[in-house]
Chain A
């Protein structure tokens, strides 16, 4: 045996040893990943072509769930509301949390306290947040109506008025997610090299042009990340609907995730619910892929 050969053998066995170790390290995590991520996604897709009462074996019914959904007003209401809910929250959150982040980027006395106050709503549960806001929105004794009346406005039925219910839910979600996104923007702002600002100063740029031509372009990946995470947060926000509105009034706050739950666990229509889940899943997957590109481009 020549030296070269034995060396190659050595490298080969080292590689083998590494692959064996990797298998040991990965076997449990990948088992969980397959059982609770990959399999449910595929199974969900399959269920959408079946009639499934959640107990007996699913019966293949072809496209009939999809055809039913296309003619179902509840389905279209859920799609529409989910999109409106997501877009409204995104637009306001992006502007507001960037604004707050810029304001709180300077190290001034008390700035940590300000940041903490903005962040605090995002550490408490959506259930508690919903409870607190139902009390604020309460028509007779709620604080919001009381203040409105004081300054000369009509009190409102925030969660029972079909024109206001979705907006009321949107406001709560913005309130809860503002601080979280502020922290993301802060991290982004602090990651912009001073060099860029210095160069802009030398070129004679003022405050505004620095903001438009240095800050905003540098934050591009942050904007994308905020868009992705906020959309996902909104799409999976089941508790707020379950607790505050139950999808009502007249389906004006009904969302895809709420219909998945209701069809499967209240109406025992797992197959039909799976159609809503497939739509939800597809949207999340698209956002996940955007996120993947983001992480990869780092």
Chain B
């Protein structure tokens, strides 16, 4: 009797769980669904009263309009190049730094690592002007002389977009934490065999680091793909714009034309959403592996 009462109670709790959570989750995800529904509606239905939730018929011309008018193809190439470039630099250099901090001893190590962590949370936005000046005054770039004068430096270029975020402290920290957990036996054996540190890093440590490489790779890609303020400051030329910049320009051109605007928004979000759906577990890794455990 008591047992079945308890069972009934737990069933009731599970029912309550779904009754509350399904509508709440629906509300949370609804803005994204609404953007999609808006993008496939015929124009006049956006303003019809009573409001139609679903389109009377599904159309995709707003997508072709967005691709053509907003030059999404070109922007997608630009965003992909800088995002992949940023993945490459972050993986290589952050892993190198992580290796030095996790596996090697050298004078000043703790002070240096402390300095890195102390500035980890200082975002690029808080020092954007000096970074702009550094990129504009880059020696020999964009018509500059050896002193970095006379031209526009690396503004309006892929390196200009990539370099300020090419090596993140978060990435170095992530690798340092991960490398510290790897057992020492293999590398010690290699050291006794006379293998160089670079050889150990390249042949023994990196092959064991697949999940961490994937985690930081995915995160760096998304940071770059979704970034806005730095591209806004760095890019003037139409042909160099990233998808996020392109979307803002597109909005300035057709301020009240919501259907193509939502179509463009959905299109440039497909990449991050797909990445998220395919590689979910790495997002959690990125959070838990920085040592944030209960």
Contacts and interface: CB of A to CB of B under 8 A. Distances in A.
Nearest to B289: A187
Interface in A136-159: 136, 138, 140-141, 143, 146
B209 interface: no
B3 interface: no
Nearest to B35: A132
B219 to A, nearest CB: 10
B123 A232 contact: yes
A41 B129 CA distance: 10
B127 A40 contact: yes
Interface in A119-174: 119-121, 123-128, 131-133, 135-136, 138, 140-141, 143, 146
B118 A292 contact: yes
Given A25-B97, A126-B226, A187-B287, A236 B119 contact: no
B14 A183 contact: no
A24 B198 contact: yes
Contacts of B17: 103, 106, 108
Contacts of A121: 28, 31-32
A284 B123 contact: yes
Contact of A19 (B107, B251, B269, B280): B107
A23 interface: yes
Given A37-B169, A284-B122, A285-B118, A135 B261 contact: yes
Interface residues of B, number: 93
Given A18-B105, A25-B104, A222 B129 contact: no
Nearest to A178: B28
Interface in B179-193: none
Nearest to B121: A288
B46 interface: yes
Contact of B119 (A25, A38, A44, A175): A38
A93 interface: no
Interface in B104-163: 104-107, 109, 112, 114, 116-134, 163
A212 interface: no
A229 B121 CA distance: 8
Chain A: number of interface residues, binned into ranges: 35 or more
B247 A127 contact: yes
A189 B287 contact: no
A273 B233 CA distance: 14
Given A132-B31, A187-B293, A288-B122, A125 B244 contact: yes
A26 B100 contact: yes
Given A183-B287, A273-B129, A123 B272 contact: yes
A128 B268 contact: yes
Contact of A284 (B121, B277, B287): B121
Nearest to A172: B31
A199 interface: no
Interface in B257-285: 258, 261-262, 265, 268-269, 272-273, 275-277, 280, 283-284
B25 A140 contact: no
A274 B126 contact: no
Interface in A220-263: 221-222, 225, 228-229, 232, 235-236, 238-239, 242-243, 257, 260-261
Contact of A131 (B104, B105, B265): B265
A135 B121 contact: no
A26 B197 CA distance: 13
Contact of A15 (B51, B105, B251, B280): B105
Interface string A169-200: 00000010011000110011111100000000
Contact of A119 (B225, B265, B275, B276): B276
Contacts of A33: 116, 167, 169
17 contacts: A22-B104, A25-B99, A26-B97, A28-B93, A29-B167, A40-B131, A43-B133, A120-B273, A125-B227, A131-B35, A192-B294, A238-B228, A238-B229, A239-B229, A242-B248, A243-B248, A287-B121
- Closest 4 pairs (CB-CB, A-B): A191-B294, A40-B127, A288-B121, A125-B226
Interface of A: 15, 17-19, 21-26, 28-30, 32-33, 35-41, 43-44, 47, 54, 103-104, 106, 108, 110, 113-114, 116-121, 123-128, 131-133, 135-136, 138, 140-141, 143, 146, 175, 178-179, 183-184, 187-192, 218-219, 221-222, 225, 228-229, 232, 235-236, 238-239, 242-243, 257, 260-261, 264-265, 270, 273-274, 277, 280-281, 284-285, 287-289, 291-292, 295-296, 298
